[in-house]
Amino acid sequence: MPRPEKPALLRWFYRSEFEEIFPLKDLLRRGALVALGKDALAAEAYAESNLNAFWNYLLKQQEADERRGVSRIFEVVDPTAHTLRWCSSSPHPPSGLARRTARLRHRSAMLRMIDGLSDREYEALACVSMALAGASEISLTPPGNEGGVDFFALLPSPGRCHLFSGGHYPLRIIGQSKKYAGAMEAGEFKEFLTTLEEVKHGGQPKTEKIVPPWFHAVYGPIVGLVFAHSGFQSGAETRGRRHGVITADSLDIAEIVALSRAIPEHLGGADRTMACQTKIHALLT
């Protein structure tokens, strides 16, 4: 299977809704039609010849997602028959787990909504996701070239001692959001890393004008956070890690928003995405 086809199919899978239990071959056929643009005969042949390869690829990608803290959305039912369960929970789950699973089902709708956002709306979405993650303060920088910084957030630390907990020493987040069609490259970190250091050390008029007053009014570590819609090239992730920058993509954002209880749980996926968009537009008006 040519390498570009796997990410295209995975992207389609993560943005689709399925029956609870389904054979992968049927969905691979549909994905070849929709995501890869093949005709019916070619899609049938494609699903037949690439079933094992995509099965292994999908499970490997889910393991990678889980390692970075993102929920698995498919569970193996029968490896021989290549059947999967979508958004699984146990047959008789505790009410909390059942509610979480119901919210997680909306992750695909959130991803489709994110795909349709403009660059500026994507920057506002970063602020919304920080607020839903528990930030007590958020600030969207003005449009234009602001040293690579698109937002600031104040996030309470979860530590279990007074030095790393609550509101005494919250994380001061300096963030960037890039809605690129392709993966972010290492060189694109340069301006953001420079601004990050300038904010840490202060004294630069161009940088200081974008920093909200509350950012310097509290103590706590300063952490860089970069959201890239289509992820990062390996060199970019390595560069971010070396500078202590958290790297995340739109799957991370979709999970934060979908699992948030701050967006009414009784709503369907379409209504919950609309509620998220309302929050985005409120920041931009």
| pLDDT given at position 119 | 96
Least confident window among 59-63, 83-87, 141-145, 149-153: 141-145
Residues comprising the chain, all counted: 285
pTM greater than 0.85 (yes/no): yes
Rg (CA), the chain: 21
pLDDT at 206 over 90: no
Q: Which two tokens stand for residue 108?
A: 């695909």
Q: To the nearest 10°, the Cα dihedral for 115, 279, 262, 87?
A: -10
pLDDT at 209 over 60: yes
Tens digits of per-residue pLDDT, 252-268? 999 999 999 999 988 88
Tens digits of per-residue pLDDT, 88-144? 655 556 677 888 888 999 999 999 999 999 999 999 999 999 999 999 999 999 988
| pLDDT given at position 16 | 93
Cβ(250)–Cβ(227) under 8 Å? yes
CA distances from 156 to 76, 197, 206 (A): 37, 22, 28
How high does pLDDT run on average in the chain?
A: 90
| pLDDT given at position 98 | 84
Q: Which two tokens stand for residue 49?
A: 């010849």
179 DSSP 8-state letter: -
Least confident window among 46-50, 97-101, 138-142, 160-164: 160-164
d(CA 48, CA 25): 7
Beta-carbon contacts of residue 241 (< 8 Å; ≥ 6 apart): 247
Tens digits of per-residue pLDDT, 1-38? 445 899 999 999 999 998 889 999 999 999 999 999 99
Tens digits of per-residue pLDDT, 217-239? 988 899 999 999 999 988 898 99
Give the residue among 190, 182, 274 at the shortest CA–CA distance from 233: 182
- Quick one: pLDDT band at residue 80, thresholds 50, 70, 90? very high
| pLDDT given at position 2 | 47
Task: State whether the Cα torsion 274-278-279-284 is positive or negative.
Answer: positive
72 DSSP 8-state letter: P
d(CA 256, CA 253): 5
| pLDDT given at position 91 | 58
